[in-house]
Structure 1
Amino acid sequence: MKIVILAGGKGTRISEESVTKPKPMVTIGGRPIIWHIMKTYGCYGFNDFIICCGYKGECIKKYFVNYKLHNAITNFTLDSCEKNGKVKYIDDLSETEQWNIVCANTGLETLTAGRILKIKKYLMDDDEFMITYGDGVSDIDLAKVLKFHHSHGKVMTISTTKPEGRFGTISIDSGNRVIRFNEKARMDQSIVNIGFMVAKKKIFDYLGDGDEMLEKGPFERLVADGQMVAYEHPGFWSPMDNIHDREYLERLWQNDAPWKKWI
């Protein structure tokens, strides 16, 4: 099964980092967040990725072209006499991911529905595939997500959760008198779509001309036809929308990152 990663946005809310790199390449523990996402999928045997590149997509392409150089625990020799230089890795102690990766240029200004349309040719032989965003990590059980998707027969499954509370709430009576302050509580949060989606090929019938965000017209049409079901994830999830999110995830990584399931 192939996994489509939406990785083409400009990441304006984390401009401190995205001015030099696309948001999926912003690091946690020295590794791009897209690496963390792909490692999560790899834990469940999902290793075929289609990365929808856009803004500064060359950074993503260069990273994976030079992946072994970036990540291997190894020495290497370089024969500069060879055309373009021949690298030979020696004393390689690293684990090698069994990833098959398509890095597809889907345009700088393309909206998310259009990005999926532009990689349709890579999915023509697949009855279903997974879709996720390139900026969030989770300890979600992807085997359970897929099993749930197969149980209902609809076109699309999204994964949802109530994020951990970031803000306390205030209770006010009818006279605007503050009654109490409440601690941050997950139960008080709204349910959100966290990515980690599964779609049948029929989703292409809902994407229109690709000039919409996936979460707008296409999702609304799926909902209107009763073709979208939500898998409820009770565990950890966090996006990396801004620099504070990155710092939060970095602190978790230095301790006991809940999404690190590959050790």
Structure 2
Amino acid sequence: MPKDRITITLEKELLKKLDTLVDGRDIRSRSHAIERALFSHLEEGKVKQALILAGGEGTRLRPFTYEIPKPLIPIKGKPMLEHIINHLLAYGVKNFILSVGYMSEKIISHFGDGKKLGVHIDYVIEKERLGTAGPLRLAKDLLEEDFLMLNGDILSRVNITEFFAHHQKMNGLGTIVLVAVNDPSKYGTVDLYGNKIMKFVEKPKKSKVVSNLVNGGIYLLKSDIIDYVPKKGFSMIEKDVFPKLAQEEKLYGYIYTGPWYDLGTIESYGQAIKNWS
């Protein structure tokens, strides 16, 4: 977003408090701390709610997930889901919906109502496997007009402020964080026209890859997207919803180039333990 340089005068004690927010990662400088503090107190132009998918069995992380649900697996001493919540909280997101299923009681016991993290948490419980789109039906009555939706096994430093501003500017039903990967044949690649997503190519052969941009598992969505979710049973937002939106030219991309870890495998989990800070 375009920025203007200004000069302000603040009390020393207030500056000291602002300086305690600077960690060199989520908040990089004093001016960044001031910007974040102002943003957290401005309601207009801020996304306030996130739906996090945390109900999977984590089969690719076995044997760890035989005894512990994937969202509680630790990274640097904290559950991976706690890292996600803390990152969003730094951008003013304080209302969370966790879609849980596998070992849901352990997740609910750990996070409770969210007060210990400074947030509010509601839960929707998947009594059967619903995929990545089905939980939207369960959360329908809790969702606001614009909300974040995230896979509960993705770690990133996406600037939520800039992401939301981009989403509002595009004025579609959904905006997807897109990341570049070395081997897109392991994922579904995205065909872009400007910022508009035209189509998805599911796990293309290396010789037919036309883009190295893949779905980053982080979305901004309007609540109307629920109308595109199948009424019953298991469904995937990547296969059953997003292609329809792309066909109707209502889906956009936001290219992100910072740290990004898909913690769905033992290999990527090891990389995050080594490199995440």
User: 1:217 corresponds to which residue?
Assistant: 240
**CA positional deviation for 1:120:** 0.7
DSSP-derived class of the 1:61 partner: helix
CA deviation profile, 1:61-120 (whole Å, cap 9, x unmatched): 01013978xxxxxxxxxxxxxxxxxxxxxxxxxxx5320001221224222211111111
d(CA) in 2 for partners of 1:189 and 1:249?
A: 25
More helix by share: 2
Matched AA of 1:59:
K
d(CA) in 2 for partners of 1:230 and 1:237?
A: 16
d(CA) in 2 for partners of 1:247 and 1:189?
A: 27
d(CA) in 2 for partners of 1:122 and 1:249?
A: 32
User: 1:87 corresponds to which residue?
Assistant: none
d(CA) in 2 for partners of 1:235 and 1:15?
A: 28
**CA positional deviation for 1:190:** 2.3
User: 1:63 corresponds to which residue?
Assistant: 110
Residue of structure 1 aligned with 2:214, choices 171, 188, 192? 192
Residues matched between the structures, number: 205
Matched AA of 2:93:
F
Residue of structure 2 aligned with 1:131, choices 149, 152, 166? 149
Structure 1: state its 5+ residue gaps: 69-95, 167-187, 258-263
User: 2:129 corresponds to which residue?
Assistant: 109
d(CA) in 1 for partners of 2:257 and 2:61?
A: 27
Q: Which has the higher contact order (CA 8 A, sep 6+)?
A: 1
Residue 40 (structure 1) aligned with residue 62 (structure 2): no
d(CA) in 2 for partners of 1:189 and 1:15?
A: 31
Matched AA of 2:162:
K
RMSD: 2.2
With over 3 angstroms needed to count, the CA separation of the structure-2 counterparts of 1:222 and 1:66, relative to structure 1, is closer
Structure 2: state its 5+ residue gaps: 1-47, 185-209
CA contact (8 A) 1:163 1:237 kept: no
User: 2:269 corresponds to which residue?
Assistant: 246
DSSP-derived class of the 1:3 partner: strand
Larger of the two Rg values belongs to structure:
1
**CA positional deviation for 1:39:** 0.8
CA contact (8 A) 2:173 2:222 kept: yes
Give the TM-score normalised by structure 1: 0.73
Give the TM-score normalised by structure 2: 0.69
Q: Structure 1 residues 153-162 or 13-22, which shifts more?
A: 13-22
Residue of structure 1 aligned with 2:175, choices 150, 157, 173? 157
Q: Which runs of 4+ in 1 moved over 4 A?
A: none
User: 1:25 corresponds to which residue?
Assistant: 72
d(CA) in 1 for partners of 2:215 and 2:164?
A: 16
Q: Tell me the percent identity.
A: 27
